[in-house]
Each structure stands twice: as C-alpha cells, then as structure tokens.
Amino acid sequence: MLNRFFITGTDTGVGKTVVSALLCAALDAIYWKPIQTGFSEDSDVATVTRLAALPSDRYIAETYLFSPPVSPHLAARLAGTRIDLRRIRLPKLDGTEGLIVEGAGGVLVPINGKQLMTDVMRHLGLPVLLVGRSGLGTINHTLLSLAALRQAGLRVHGVVMVGPPNRENRATIEHFGKVKVVGIVPPLAKLERYALIRVFRKHFDRRSFGK
C-alpha cells in the first residue's frame, strides 16, 4: 500500500508537518500525530488541518499530548506520566484509506526511559519517509538518520528534501544512502492546500505513491 506512511525527520523543525500536510492533501489521507509536545492552540494537528484543508473526520486525536516543548520522554515525566507504547495503536481503517502518521522530533528521540521514536515506528509497522533539509549539513544528518532507521530494522520508503533544490546534495544522499529522494518541497510564497498539491504533482515521484 502506497498511501500509508510514518513521517520522521533528521531534526526538529525540518519540515515534517508541511510534508505531512502535503501528503494528506495529495493522497487524500487521514492525519495522526500520536505524540505531541509543545502543544498550543497552533498544534501540528491544527497546522496540518489548516494547510491541507482537512475536515474534522480526516484527522485522529493525539494519544499523548504535552505542553512543554521538550523531548517526549521529558514532557511525559514533567506531566507525571510515562509514554506506554501499547497505548499507541494504528486506527482501524478500511483497506484503501490513506494514513499519514507524523513522529515527534527526530529518529532517535526518546519516548520513555527505554524506548525511542524508532520503537514507535517499528511498533506501527508503516514504511518510513525521512524528511531532511536540502542545504548545508543535510548530507551528514540524513545519512546518520538513514543508518539509525536501518539498524532498527525499519523499511525506508524514501527521502523528502525541504528547501531550495540542491542537485549535488540530492545525488550524494541517494548514492551513499542507497535511497531514493522521492520528493522536493521548494520554498513556497503561500502554504495552502492547492499549492501543496501542485508541489506533489511537479516535484514528487508520483509512482512512489501509487499515482
């Protein structure tokens, strides 16, 4: 199935939420962020539903929601609780329904004293899309993240690069990372549903998403 993915990133603030919104719009998928920290009125759920123009039945509420903008394991501890992986279950959807699951932070972010974001990915069993910047520093960050994902036994579907297109960085990541860059999200004057769909049609390998 090419319409259900776990979206992770090389770092916090790298563009996972924009990519999640883009894929929800382009694939007509449901959005779910099981662990949200740094919650405010403008949460990632609110951002994705606004950017992708999703109706209220096209997103799933967070399993864990914390106010402090810190790592999930610390946010849970400050709230006097612990993130239990057994509570994070894939929603029951029909066989053709798309689903975009967004992780919190980067690949090796801890969720409790023993488990990492890679454990969440393995638990859910979805193919992984890694989001990275296009510019300086992305080669090291992306290759390290790919190595961590593979060491955890995860299936990497591809990389999405965010920022001005950089042919050399893309080629280097594909060569050394043994991975395909399946999409580019260039700088956009306006972030809204139809602009994101146009980016998908122009800058993504639609065959990688069954389109």
Contact 85, 114 (CB under 8 A): no
Residue 33 annotated among the catalytic residues of the structure: yes
Nearest to 110 by CA among 71, 77, 150: 71
> 130 CB contacts (<8 Å, ≥6 apart)?
8, 9, 10, 107, 142, 145, 146, 149, 156, 158, 159, 160, 179
Non-local (6+) Cβ contacts of 80 within 8 A are: none
CA distance 36 to 62: 7
Residue 71 sits at φ, ψ, to 5 deg, of: -55, 145
Q: Which of 33, 178, 190, 211 is catalytic?
A: 33
**If we measure between CA atoms, which residue out of 200, 189, 168 comes closest to residue 100?**
200
What letter does residue 205 receive in the DSSP assignment?
Answer: -
Mapped onto helix, strand or coil, the DSSP state of residue 189 is coil
Separation between Cα atoms, residue 106 and residue 92, nearest integer Å:
26
- Which amino acid is located at 67 in the chain? S
C-alpha radius of gyration, the chain, whole number: 16
Length of the chain (residues): 211
- The residues that are catalytic are 33
